Amino acid sequence: MTRFDLTGKKAIITGAGRGIGKALAVGLAEAGAQVAVVSRTESDLQEVVQAIEANGGVACPIAADVTEAGAAEKVVAQALDALGGLHILVNNAGMNIRKKAHEVSEAEWDRIMDLNLKAAFFLSQAAARTMCEQRYGRIVNIASVAGLVALRTGVAYGASKAGVIQMTRVLALEWSKFGVNVNAIAPWYFRTPLTEALLNDEAFVQEVLQRTPSGRIGDVEDLVGPTIFLSSDAAAYISGQTIAVDGGMSVYGF
């Protein structure tokens, strides 16, 4: 349907070099968007750009560490220059350090917060300056079910993702009147380079599956549809919401 068509839209996707971000970048391009893919690793970016261009899409690489001071403004400026506009921002870049709460250092806490929450806010702020002026924009924040429910060995990660979810609500409250919708997606466990070691542990996988009504680990392609939806005109009246893409995990009960 044309309401899901992103033709003519310009998008930024952070953490786009691999895993979830790569899948989202390719998916948005297949839906018609021109995409600026952002990652610290230039070689990863080139692979993503090549994959998009091989399918007839348009992409530009932006090598940047989004936690550095002033990076958000620079990334948005580069994307505007390369694409000639900005309509969609997907804040996907993130990290986790799995430790028990009493073992987390101040430096580790700061690293997680800087990437997962602080960078997402300042990228949203920089993007919103253009989006609010043109009275159109879609911001999609990749949160986590760890921001909705308590998970073991993830206090800093969970706090950062809960912050992303609350940030999403507040930004929607401020910016929806300018035609800028802000929403979030909360994934459960997906097979990515970051979860590879965990999901190679069969005992851990079985524990996850016992808490997942759908009975399987997520595939990154499961996140593409919800992201396209929230980025499209089909979601024109949705703002401030968090969609759990988790196989039913967040409603699991005993």
> Annotated catalytic sites, by residue?
157
Burial-class residue 106 by CB neighbours within 10 Å (0-12, 13-18, 19+).
exposed
Phi, psi (5° rounding) for residue 224? Answer: -70, -50
Q: Are 11 and 89 in contact (CB under 8 A)?
A: yes
Q: Are 73 and 127 in contact (CB under 8 A)?
A: no
Helix residue ranges, H only, the chain: 19-30, 42-54, 71-83, 106-113, 119-134, 155-175, 196-199, 202-210, 224-231
Q: What DSSP letter does each residue of 125-137 carry, written as one string?
A: HHHHHHHHHHT-E
β-strand pairing of 180-187 with 10-14: unpaired
From residue 110, alpha-carbon distances to 104, 105, 116, 162 in Å are 10, 9, 10, 15
Q: Is 30 helix (H, G, I), strand (E, B) or coil?
A: helix
